[in-house]
DNA sequence: GACATATCGGATAAATGATTCTGATTAATA
DNA sequence: TATTAATCAGAATCATTTATCCGATATGTC
């Protein structure tokens, strides 16, 4: 089971991160991404299709086709991928599942969770792929099994 | 869809919280809990069965039976319910889903997420039901639809 | 133009999680 | 003892998510 993102979203984040580390290639095939990330090929290409629709990724059909990022690295944040796939629900809902939990009628952890939720949002929106790449080349291989 | 807890866990937390606010009654029937929390009766009684197994809740069969807390309010923390139902996975897994993410080979948000994850754990383990009750009587009704 | 190799897009299948059903057991009460 | 009201336990159903399949289309190369 996944933590706060759906599996689809996790895979989407991983795939985009991988694309950001392969900018020397014009496009990368779904197969290569799938093999590197140990994600089913059909699934990852479906996810990248969706991200193509939302403008984050571009695709090229036919022989030597594949996927590539559709924006500059400095213009892509993790939150953009999350928003495109899972939406913003996790930042708005009550962590205990109470339908009417709010600052007026808070659940026991409403205040504290609001802070953590906001910090999570910040974590995903403050830095761009460019920042990540500057700090450290993503060693995707080493965080895969 | 739920945020970090399964629906089962959310309902479990809500039910235990409700039980903490009804300590005048010897036991509370699954039906009463279900009606108050707008949870299917069969489902909530199934969940409370599980919490009975793990010792947090006690059940009384037969006529006028129902559920009640099996420990003092000062000895029940939210993390105990989470541990019993969802386990500790959410505190250990990589938020981006990388199988080998660790402090040695971190994903781009590993460090920041570790902090948030730890704070979430603290939020759930620092206070007991007694503390919640002391601060404010749980107005379950007002946070329900 | 023929062929090989990609994505695209819709349909379907498999797996997981959430919910309901049913029958059994238990216990209080009249 | 009969009745009633509750949990218990496991099976069955339903819904959602995850994963796969396949035919169509596009494109580079010979």
The pLDDT tens digits of the residues spanning B49-90 come to: 999 999 999 999 999 999 999 999 999 999 999 999 999 999
pLDDT-based confidence at A1, cuts 50/70/90?
Answer: confident
Q: Where on the phi/psi map is residue A39: left (φ > 0), alpha (ψ -120 to 50), or beta?
A: beta
Q: Specify the pLDDT at position B139.
A: 78
**B98-114 per-residue burial string, b: 16 or more CB within 10 A, e: under 16:** beebeeeebbbbbebbe
Distance CA A118, CA A116 (A): 5
Condensed to tens digits (0 to 9), the pLDDT of residues B80-122 reads 999 999 999 999 999 999 999 999 999 999 999 999 999 999 9
Q: What separation in angstroms does the CA of A32 have from each of A22, A56, A62, A143, B75?
A: 11, 19, 15, 17, 52
Model confidence at A135: pLDDT above 90? no
As a CATH number, domain B7-143 is 1.10.10.10
Chain A with chain B: Cβ pairs closer than 8 A: 112
Chain segment A44-79, per-residue pLDDT in tens: 999 999 999 999 999 999 999 999 999 999 999 999
Q: Is B44 on the interface with A (CB under 8 A)?
A: no
CA distance A58 to B110: 28
> How many CB atoms sit inside 10 A of residue A143's CB?
24
**Nucleotide D18 C1' to residue B64 CA (A):** 44
Probe site for chain A from B108, B120, B123 (most A CB atoms < 10 A): B108
Where does the pLDDT of residue A115 fall: very low under 50, low under 70, confident under 90, or very high at 90 and above? very high
Q: Is the pLDDT of residue B137 over 90?
A: no
The full set of domain ranges for chain A reads 7-143
Please state, in angstroms and rounded to a whole number, the distance separating the CA atoms of residues B3 and B16: 19
């Amino acid at each position: 089971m996944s933590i706060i993102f759906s599996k689809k979203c996790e895979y989407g984040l991983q795939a985009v991160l991988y694309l950001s580390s392969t900018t020397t290639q014009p496009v990368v095939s779904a197969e290569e991404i799938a093999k590197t990330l140990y994600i089913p090929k059909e699934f990852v290409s479906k996810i990248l299709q969706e991200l193509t629709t939302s403008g984050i990724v571009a695709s090229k059909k036919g022989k030597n086709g594949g996927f590539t990022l559709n924006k500059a690295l400095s213009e892509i944040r993790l939150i953009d991928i999350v928003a495109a796939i899972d939406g913003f629900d996790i930042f708005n809902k009550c962590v205990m599942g109470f339908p009417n939990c709010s600052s007026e009628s808070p659940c026991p952890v409403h205040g504290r969770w609001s802070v953590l939720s906001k910090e999570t949002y910040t974590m995903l929106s403050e830095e761009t792929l460019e920042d990540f790449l500057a700090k450290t080349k993503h060693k995707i291989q080493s965080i895969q099994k």
